[in-house]
A and B are shown apart, each in its own frame.
Chain A
Amino acid sequence: MTASKEFGRRLRATCAVGALVCAALPTTSRADDERVTLDATAHVFATEHIRAFGPTDARAAFEDDDEYFASASVVALGPALERLLEADIAVAGGSLDAGYEECEVTGGPEVVELARRRIAALRDAVEGTATLRIALVHLPDAADAAHARDASAVRAAVGAGRARVLLTERIVAQRGEPVALDDVALREFVADLDVEVAEYASIGDPVTGRIATGTRLRVLQRPLDGTRTVVALACQLTRLDGVRAVRTGAGALEIPDTTFGSVASTFLATRGTTSVVVLRHPWESGVVAVLVDVLALPATDGLGARLVDTVVLCGGSLAEPTRRLGLHDVVIDDAEGEECDPFAAARALAKSIETSEGGIELCETLALVTDAARVFGEPREHRLVRRVVPLEASELASLPGWDPLDASLPAANAATLAARASAFLVDVPLVEHGAFFASAGRTTRVVTDVDVEIATGASLTDPIVLDLVTGASCAVQFTGGAASIVPVATWRTVRSTAETEPTPIAVVRELEGKRVDSEPDHIDAAERRERQGSLVLTGGGRIDVRSAGDAAEADSWSFE
């Protein structure tokens, strides 16, 4: 906020000089002046909501496809044009009367042409699209996996036939609008029973669900300048392990079991280079590399001011991909997840720029400023690598510096343990203030309880079915103020078991004063173990050791 104050002070000074220049210029009108009304609107997509695709939502993800294609919305450029053009038009001997969605220009042909050019440039900048080429590549060999962050090595492996391309696409995306790429199979299953009862009649009405398995990708970009864009990318691979039939008092259910792995990261992509996101393949050997090439970005010159995406400039607001793409739902029932507006800070910044008298707010998270890069600083990019090394309890004791009273190892052991890791879990680029999220595991469904529906002479039990996820998830967030920016990793592991022999439960039914037999009901004796915490990621790696009973594992983080 201090920086924005400084910026406002500079803008005020600039405007004051401009005003003095304008006051000194002659304002005579000529006979051949014309009065032209120009369209001052731009059109952008305004997709406010996109379906999540965690395991919970996977089966419903395709039910509302039209949400991907929300109608374009109109951005009024008029208020911005007034400040952007007023001084130049005056210098050229014309005048400007900017409304909200149109502007009236009075002056000679050169004045009108100047206005047309500026409006077109601004419209291009607002509506402009970026072209990205995305490729998902599976590298099954350990040797190739070790070099998966090197795009040329990945391409060489593909060329040599050692890697398989899972998905490749060339996409064109507007600023801030997510693009979905999916290669999935859809399957219906009986997910629940909707119990209905009436007089002397009852039924368990099967409710079908839909599960999508395969590869899914979401990409969202926000141009920083003419050569760089901030890309938020999310990728998920899901496999259907099988569908089991389960009997309940109200009828038969189907329980799908899946294995999944997902990753999301926000990074800085530069035109002419390839960014690579790497995650371990959730069920096969090796890794999956996601290659992102920036082929084209919208031009932002010719405006006389710089177009700034305030989302990019706001620390923390780049948590957007995990929120808008729904990846925070991968591990279910995170009770502490907070609903908040990820763009609030960006909007506030855009508004503060607008009110600083020199800046111009456009559409909520877009602003025109003179020297944003110098005022707000360049985003820095890091690379985040996470490995997990399984350990025997006896091995722990032999590691130097191991303190059984502590939950961590000295960083000196990082190299020792990293060398033992066969492969990393994730290896991703991550821009400062960007968001990282990864999750992997298995999903199933369990009957945790039963309700009863009842009417005259009829009753039926209603099974309550919930998702059960076993896996681990982790997220990285940057926190801190102007003095320091510190990456913090929050992690969560969930270990679940559902016993193969469910527990029968008592159901006593009396009809007209007499006991009647009911269909057997049960609840799954599911157990879940959940551990949750966070740690500061310091350069050079950090080792956190988690033990569960006799087994232990060292979680190694490397933040470069």
Chain B
Amino acid sequence: MRRVLRSTRVAATALLALVACARVAAAGDAYDPAASAAALFWPDGVEERAAADPPSLATEGSFDTDRDGLPRAALDVVERLSAPCVELRARVVSVAPGTAELAGFLASSRTVLTTEDAAALRAALAAGGAVGVADATACGAVDDVLRLRDLGARNAAVYSDVECAIHVATTVTHGAHLCDGLRLQARVAPHDDGAHVLAYDLAWVGVPRIAPAMPLRDVARDEAAGDACAARGALLLAPGATACLRFRSARDAQRGSADGRTLLVLLRVVARGEPRLPLDLGDGWVAVPTAALEALAPDPLPLADGGDDDERTTGPADALAPWTAPFHAPPAGWVAQVLGDAGIDVAEIVHAPRGVAFVRTRDRGAAHAAADAVLAAGRAGVVCDVSDAAGARLVLPGLDGFAVSGFVGTLRTDAVPGELNVETGCDDSIGVHQWVRPTPRGMRFVLASAPGQAAEIDVRSDVETRGAPRTLRARRSLPGHATTAWEDLVVPSRTLRDLRVRSAVPDGACELAGGLRVRVARERATATPAPVALLLGGERVCATPGRAARVRRIVTEQHATELEWDGSCGVTYRWPQVRDVPAGLDVAASPGPRGTELDVAGLVLGAPQVLDPAFDTGDGVCAIVRRPQLAVRTTLPLGALRRIAWGAGLELTAGAESAVELPPLRTLSADDGARAAGLRFAGAVELELRAGDHVALPSQVATYTSNHESGEAYVVMLDAWSGVTAGLASDGDVLRGDVTFVAAAAPRAFDVTKFQAPARPDRDVRLLLPVTSAHAFALVVPPGIAVELRALAGSAAGVRVGMPRIEEAR
């Protein structure tokens, strides 16, 4: 047994599952490439300010090194690079579908225009199939942030707000600025032979279509939608070359079809006499450009960093941690690594602003070899071509070792159902308002590749399906009124399908989960370790040793699972809040560094089961939703094909289909009667699982007292859980561990009389009280024995834990 199993692991697993579940519900990303486009669409938010201040190329304080040791020529290099010497020109061209002149180019993945491509584009522009829609020019020094803008803005009345006071409520539709056009920020650094490395961060939004939206409580508003794309990355541009970033939205807001126009963003850098690097500075010093290689690194994939077995903090569990993580690779370390890999003995490296490293070696020959090594490491280009089943496509250039990220889709000023809100004043003044925010719908990705490593990609593709508006019942309570006044609120509905995939990408094209296609073309072949092919929950992905592959496939529906209230003197208003209820799976697997084991973590969220009819608490109507879930974490031996299946539909196949499947494994199972969780294994094994249901019940009464006559009691939802948690381990024969199970809740209705303020009649509210039993066991199970655990009260719920002998398994 590799580790001593501790009961705390069970709790950790449970916590992991809860956190993961909450994360699924929140659907929040640490870094979202779409935020840039969203900020452009609605620039009043903080996102724009954050996006307007991209990280500096130069390392903070990197010039603190004693400069007296540098030759005078080094300071001259920085001085010259400080003068404006580069111009960036950008032009956005919109290409109509079926433009014959550009058919060949659009079918390719080229990101640098050839002479033929440029001629075809000129012909398309002349014929009208392509139209220039934005252009701008900016100049500056090396390492300056160059800002280009070609923006439009228009007013639209897109959201409503309400103000209440005594006797009066006023709801008004507000105007907001919606932007369209191009915003590009870039940094340019010289490379060698007159080439430049261009770090780019752009966002583009098409002219938003504004249409009347569903009125809420008689307050009409507009709804806006615009095609959008965003991209970050770095690319290498030869003198006079024109780079081309390509976008095609499958969710074209204008046409609602998948054959929308393709946008080409053309970028060209014009040098104005900057010094070429490397420069021989004498005494073994050379100047080499590094800033480009530290450029605007978008958040790449989080990397597992190993660590002590018992205390390790990475692995598959961290694959369920934030989808992307900050990039912390130190530039100095990178340069030292490149030079060390090239066998160069470096005496000193000094980083300067303006993207230059001064490298001193033992002799002039070694100095130039060092410069060449750094330049060579940053010379390999990567083309990232990502498309999804719906037809959205992005083709972005990148540099080997650095991430590119992008988003393509639409932005909508959605009225998200869960954000319905109410304002109350005194004496029957109630207003309902609905916040609106720009919500990206489409495909976003981050692709990162380390030199000598397989590229890895995070893709998120979400599709919105809108359903018919739903009617929710809200209640208003007034002083002196004998009866409750009910009101119908009509809110929009939606279903969100969210597919996220993290996978290693073998060089060349591959198809990932959900019809996502990824093509990574490198200018230079790299000796990458063979990724392990995995089938996670039926989706194809790949993983390299030490790094995790992950599939998250979630369908989110809305249910009125919570009751919200607002009150002022003499009046209360109680209304159902619509919350996202996710269903699907989130599973990650990571081959160990030795390639002999596979760490797996998974979470399955079953389809929500809505009890019918909805429960009337007396002051509100809420849905009772049962949400099954299974969370599992374990380590498997890996050698050839493995097929593992747990209950609740979580499956894992590791290894190529053509590989010889290893002999059948023994199966360890733990179930609570309704949901089985099984694991097949060969020898030492660990298993942490949590399988059960979550139900939010109106189970508690809280009180509210205003400064006037409106003492109120209201019902609060509580989360009840039932099922089994297990932390089990076997070193080959004996199974040890802890098991806890909680019998399924049998809710019992309970009436509570509300003794209210004198001016108001007493009323009853109804609660649903969960009745459960919980049991915990410490187990030692010999081989061939199955242990069945059951609640003492004779409940049907129970747990059966067993491990067959090897011969039985065969």
* Contact, CB under 8 Å: A456 / B149: no
Cα–Cα distance between A510 and B476 once the two chains are bound (Å): 15
The prevalent SS among residues of B at the interface is strand
Cβ contact within 8 Å between A507 and B172: yes
Q: State the Cβ distance, A97 to closest chain B Cβ, in Å.
A: 42
**B242 part of interface (Cβ distance < 8 Å):** yes
**Residues of chain A within 8 A of B174, CB atoms compared:** 449-450, 505
Which residues of chain A from 441 to 485 have a CB within 8 Å of any chain B CB? 448-450, 452-459, 461, 479-485
Are the CB atoms of B172 and A450 closer together than 8 Å? yes
Q: With an 8 A cutoff between CB atoms, is A405 at the interface? A: yes
B86 to chain A, nearest CB (A): 9
In the assembled complex, B168 has its CB within 8 A of some CB on chain A: yes
Report the separation of the CA atoms of residues A406 and B146 in the bound assembly, to the nearest whole angstrom. Answer: 17
Would you call B155 and A526 a contact (CB within 8 A)? yes
A546 an interface residue at 8 Å Cβ cutoff? yes
Q: Which residue of A lies closest to B160 (CB)?
A: A506
Q: Which residues of A contact B113 (CB under 8 A)?
A: 405
Q: Is the CB of A525 within 8 A of B155?
A: yes
- Is the CB of A422 closer than 8 A to any CB of chain B? no
A446 to B: closest C-beta gap in Å: 8
How far, in whole Å, are A483 and B79 apart by their CA atoms in the complex?
A: 7
From B87, B121, B168, B173, contact of A507 by CB (8 A): B173
Closest to B150 in A: A531
Whether A511 touches B167, Cβ cut-off 8 Å, given contacts A527-B154, A531-B136, is yes
Q: Are B118 and A533 neighbours in the complex by a CB distance under 8 Å?
A: no
Instruction: Decide: B82 and A481 in contact? CB cutoff 8 A.
Output: yes
Interface string of B87-118 (1 = CB under 8 A from A): 10111010000000000000000000100001
Task: Give the contacts of A409-459 with B (CB-CB under 8 A).
Answer: 448-450, 452-459
Using CB atoms, name the residue of chain A closest to B48: A335
Q: Mark B56-90, 1 if CB is under 8 A from A, else 0.
A: 00000000000000000000100110111101011
A481 touches B83 (CB 8 A): yes
Given the complex of chains A and B, what is the CA–CA distance between A512 and B147 in angstroms? 54
How many of chain A's residues have a CB under 8 angstroms from any CB in B? 59
- Which residue of B is nearest A515, CB measured? B218
Give the residues in chain B near A459, CB-CB below 8 Å.
Answer: 163, 165, 168-170
Quick one: CB contact mask for B147-182 with A, threshold 8 Å, 1 for yes? 111111111010011011111111111111100010
Assembled-state Cα–Cα distance A503/B176 (Å): 13
Of A404, A458, A479, which is in contact with the most chain B CB atoms at under 10 Å from its CB?
A404
Complex-state Cα separation, A407 to B137, whole angstroms = 7
Q: Determine which residue in A448, A449, A486, A510 has the highest number of CB atoms from chain B within 10 A of its CB, and name it.
A: A510
Residues of A within 8 A of B164 (CB): 454
| B363 within 8 Å of A (CB atoms) | no
A488 at interface by CB-CB < 8 Å: yes
Interface residues in A487-545 (C-beta closer than 8 Å to B): 488, 503, 505-513, 518, 521, 523-536, 538, 544
- Evaluate contact between A483 and B83: CB separation under 8 angstroms: yes
- Supposing A456-B165, A459-B170, A533-B136 touch, asked if A479 and B87 sit within 8 A by C-beta, the answer is no
B132 contacts A455, CB within 8 Å?
no
Among B149, B155, B157, B172, which residue has its beta carbon within 8 angstroms of that of A533?
Answer: B149
Q: Are the C-beta atoms of A461 and B167 separated by less than 8 Å?
A: no
Find chain B residues with CB under 8 A from A526 CB: 154-155
Number of interface residues of B (CB under 8 A): 72
Chain A residues lying within 8 Å of B266, measured Cβ to Cβ, are 405
Q: Give complex CA distance A415, B450 in Å.
A: 50
Q: Cα distance A408–B147 when bound, in Å?
A: 17
Q: Which chain A positions have C-beta within 8 A of B135?
A: 407, 546-547
Chain B 162-221 residues near chain A, CB threshold 8 A: 163-177, 181, 215, 217-221
Q: Do the beta carbons of B172 and A544 come within 8 Å of each other?
A: no
B141 at the interface (CB under 8 A from A): yes
A-facing mask of B255-274, CB < 8 A → 1, else 0? 00000000000101000100
- Determine if A397 is an interface residue (Cβ-Cβ < 8 Å): yes
CB contacts (< 8 Å) of B152 on chain A: these are: 527-530
Query: Please, how many angstroms separate the alpha-carbon atoms of A397 and B132 in the complex?
Result: 14
Residue in chain A with minimal CB distance to B81: A481
On chain B, the residues within 8 Å of A538 by CB distance are 272
Q: How far is the CB of A143 from chain B (nearest CB, A)?
A: 34
Interface pair A513/B147, CB less than 8 Å apart? no
Nearest CB in chain B: distance from A195 CB, A: 12
Cα A445 to Cα B153 with chains together (Å): 16
Docked Cα-Cα span, A457 to B164, in Å, equals 10
CB distance from A29 to the nearest CB of B (A): 50
Of B126, B146, B218, B429, the most chain A CB neighbours within 10 A belong to B429
Asked if residues B167 and A479 are in contact (CB atoms below 8 Å), the reply is no
In the bound complex, how far is the Cα of B792 from the Cα of A453, in angstroms?
64
A407 B90 Cβ-Cβ under 8 A: yes
| A479 CA / B144 CA spacing, docked (Å) | 12
**Given A483-B83, A529-B152, are A408 and B137 neighbors across the interface (CB < 8 Å)?**
yes
Within 371-417 of A, Cβ neighbours of B (below 8 Å) are at: 397, 404-408
Would you call A407 and B89 a contact (CB within 8 A)?
Answer: yes
B155 CB contact (under 8 Å) in A454, A455, A523 = A523
Contacts of A508 in B (CB 8 A): 170-172, 217-219
Contact B136 A532 (CB under 8 A): yes
In the docked arrangement, what's the CA distance between A423 and B155, Å?
Answer: 36
Q: A458-B168, A505-B173, A535-B137 are in contact. Are A530 and B157 (CB under 8 A)?
A: no
Residues of chain A with a CB closer than 8 A to B155's CB:
448-449, 503, 523-527
Q: Is B122 among interface residues, defined by CB-CB distance under 8 A?
A: yes
| Shortest beta-carbon distance from A453 to chain B in Å | 8
Minimum CB distance partner of B429 in chain A: A510
Question: Taking the nearest CB of chain A, how far is it from the CB of B332, in angstroms?
Answer: 25
Verify A483–B80 contact, CB threshold 8 A: yes
**Across-interface contacts of A547 in B (CB, < 8 A):** 132, 135
Q: With a CB–CB cut-off of 8 A, which chain B residues contact A513?
A: 428
Chain B residue at smallest Cβ distance from A536: B139
- Bound together, the chains give a CA A472 to CA B166 distance in angstroms of 49
Q: Which residue in chain B gives the minimum CB-CB distance to A516?
A: B168
The answer on a CB contact under 8 Å between A530 and B172 is no
B153 with A528: CB separation less than 8 A:
yes
Q: B349 an interface residue at 8 Å Cβ cutoff?
A: no
**Is B219's CB under 8 angstroms from A506's CB?**
yes
In the complex, are the beta carbons of B167 and A512 less than 8 A apart?
Answer: yes
CA distance in complex: A560, B165 (Å) = 67
Question: Known: A404-B125, A479-B84. Is A535-B171 also a contact (CB below 8 A)?
Answer: no
B350 at the interface (CB under 8 A from A): no
The answer on a CB contact under 8 Å between A457 and B125 is no
Residue B284 at the chain A interface, CB threshold 8 Å:
no
Structural contact, A479 and B136, CB atoms closer than 8 A: no
The reply to whether A534 and B167 contact each other, CB–CB distance below 8 Å, is no
Within 8 A of B (CB), among A195-223: 199
For B83, give its contact among A452, A486, A512 (CB under 8 Å).
Answer: A486
- A529 near B151: Cβ-Cβ < 8 Å: yes
Determine the residue in chain A with the shortest Cβ distance to B273.
A484
Of listed A405, A454, A479, A530, residue having the most chain B CB within 10 A: A405
Cβ–Cβ < 8 Å partners of B172 in chain A: 450, 452, 461, 505-508, 521
**Which of the listed residues A199, A505, A507, A524 has the most CB atoms from chain B within 10 Å of its own CB?**
A505
User: Which of chain A's residues has its CB closest to B131's CB?
Assistant: A549
- Report whether B165 and A512 are in contact in the complex, using a CB–CB cutoff of 8 Å: no
B377: Cβ under 8 A from any A Cβ = no
Complex Cα–Cα for A534 and B90 (A): 12
Known A480-B82, A535-B87; judge A523-B175 contact (CB<8 A). yes
**Is there contact, CB below 8 Å, between A510 and B168?**
yes
- The minimal Cβ–Cβ distance linking B272 to chain A, given in whole angstroms, is 6
Please give, as numbers and ranges, the residues of chain A lying within 8 Å of B147 by CB-CB distance.
Answer: 336, 532-533
Q: A450-B172, A452-B163 known; 17 other A-B pairs, CB under 8 Å?
A: A397-B126, A405-B266, A407-B89, A407-B90, A407-B135, A456-B426, A457-B167, A458-B168, A506-B219, A509-B169, A510-B168, A511-B168, A512-B428, A527-B155, A530-B152, A532-B147, A536-B139
Q: Please name 9 pairs of A and B residues whose Cβ atoms are closer than 8 Å in the assembled complex, sorted by A.
A: A407-B136, A453-B163, A506-B160, A506-B219, A508-B171, A509-B169, A526-B155, A533-B137, A535-B87
Q: What are the 5 tightest A-B residue pairs by CB atom distance, in nearest-first order?
A: A480-B83, A456-B166, A532-B149, A459-B170, A484-B83
